[in-house]
Amino acid sequence: MSGATGMPAAPPKEGPQQPLRIGLALGGGAARGFAHIGVIKALEARNVRVDLVAGTSAGSVIAALYASGMSGIAINKLALTMDEASISDWAMPFRTRGILQGVALQNYLNKTLDNRPIEKMAKPLGIVATDLRSGQPILFQRGNTGIAVRASCSVPSIFEPVKIGDREYVDGGLVSPVPAAFARKMGADFVIAVDISARPESGLTSSSFDVLLQTFTIMGQTIKAYELDKYASAVIRPNLNAMSSSDFSQRNASILAGEEAVAKMWPTLQRQLAERGARV
């Protein structure tokens, strides 16, 4: 019969909900970087499953260790037994582009990770550095892990720039102090950003190294504020204002500060994660 209408079509079935992809963005801050270990330990203790990790400068060191499959407790043990001399290599006096070469850090990390390249990590890993020629950030997701981390940590005038291919790279903190945007780019739906930089008004400047890092902190405030506001779902800020960026003797205190920061904001973070469907 013309004009007859059939039964309305059934609505399409919704596919299974994709699990929330949690990204961890670890910022720069030299010796304060040990606080990242405490954050990781605290998140693991609360069953927060991190799917991918991005790191800048000191954060890239911890990001590489964590992405390799090491637990927070294992990284903690490694950090407390690490000899600072094992990652320090003075440049020759006639070199003027940096007082440290950075090769020792590169070799230490590659040895610790059994020379595993970035793309072979247990979790997706992104390492941020700055292209010295263009001033643009670069996200390393393939290649030699130690070299990429060395580039990300190469604070100008402290470390020599790192040549990869036909380009030279320096500290990623110059353009991405806390790489929340890159964690998003890597596929994170929810980004937990860890900001370990001191506030400009409270940073310690007891050495020339501290003065240099403090200068970078001041320069990066606007960039960092924009990136965290736009791309971070939650920001963890360990209380490190009494700790110098150049004092590696305070590593245990830094780790504890990271744990305490997570504990302090856990009710808020737990609620945010639950609202997005994460099981915590």
Give residues with Cβ within 8 angstroms of 118, minimum separation 6.
64, 125, 127, 140, 141, 142, 143, 144, 145, 148
Would you state the structure tokens that stand for residue 19, as one six-digit string?
Answer: 């699990």
114 catalytic, yes or no?
no
57 catalytic, yes or no?
yes
Angle, to 10 degrees, between the axis of helix 72-81 and the axis of helix 58-67? 130
Which one of 60, 154, 171, 197 is the catalytic residue?
A: 171
Which one of 51, 57, 176, 254 is the catalytic residue?
A: 57
Give catalytic residue positions.
Answer: 57, 171
